[in-house]
Amino acid sequence: MEPGTGTFSEEQFREACAELQRPALSGAAWELLVETQGISVYRLLDQQTGLYAYKVFGVLEDCLPDLLADVYMDLAYRKQWDQYVKELYEKESSGETVVYWQVKYPFPMSNRDYVYVRQRQELDFEGQKVHVILAQSTSEPQFPEKSGVIRVKHYKQRLAIQSDGKKGSKVFMYYFDNPGGQIPSWVINWAAKVLQLVCQVQC
C-alpha cells in the first residue's frame, strides 16, 4: 500500500464537517449542474486533467442521519439497488479495510474498477452529531488489475451528514475520480446523474 494513502487526518474530517455548515463554492468556478428534489449538484473543471470534481448539497427528507450513514457504508445493500455495480466487496489488508468496486460502463466502453480505503467518524458540531465518511484510492497488490477493466487510480470522496432538525438529513458530498481513457461528454453527464441518484436512494 502506498505510504499515507490509508490514513486521513483529523483536519480532513473537520473540513468536510465545516463545508456541510457553509458550502465552499466561492473563489472557484463551481457551476450548478442540476437542482432537483432538494438536491443541488455543482461541478468544477480540473485544469490539469480536464475532468470535473463534483459537490452535492441538499436535504433528504424522512431519512434519519444514523440510518443514512449506516446504509451508505452497507456494501451488500448497495449491490441490491445500484444497477451499475458489477462487483463490490471489502477485505482486510495491511491492517485496514480495503474496498474493491467494479462499475458497469455503457457499451462499448470498458468497465472501471476502484480499490480504495474509507473511514467513518462521528463529530460534534454545536451539540449536533455529524457523520463524516472519507474515501480515497489506494494501491494494494492483493487487488491486481483485471484484463478488460480500467483501474481508476485517482478517486476521492467526502461525505458529511447531520440532522435537518426534523425527520431528515442535511448532506454534503464531494466526489472526484479520473476514469482513464477518452470519455465522451454524454458519459460524463450520465455519471453525474448516477451521482445524484446515489444521494437520493440511500434511504
Q: What is the model's pTM?
A: 0.85
Conformational region of residue 61, where left means phi above 0, alpha means psi within -120 to 50, and beta covers everything else:
beta
- Give me the CATH topology for the region 10-200: Alpha-D-Glucose-1,6-Bisphosphate; Chain A, domain 4 (3.30.530)
Between CA 56 and CA 33 the distance in angstroms is 10
pLDDT in tens, the chain (203 residues): 443 344 799 999 999 999 999 998 977 789 998 888 788 989 998 888 888 889 999 998 888 999 999 988 999 998 988 888 999 999 988 788 899 999 998 888 899 999 999 999 999 988 889 999 999 999 888 899 999 999 999 999 999 999 998 988 999 999 998 887 655 454 555 555 555 555 555 55
C-alpha cell at 46: 480540473
**End-to-end CA separation in angstroms for the chain:** 34
Residue 199: exposure state from Cβ atoms within 10 A (0-12, 13-18, ≥19)? buried
Q: Which of 87, 95, 135, 90 is nearest to 1 (CA)?
A: 95
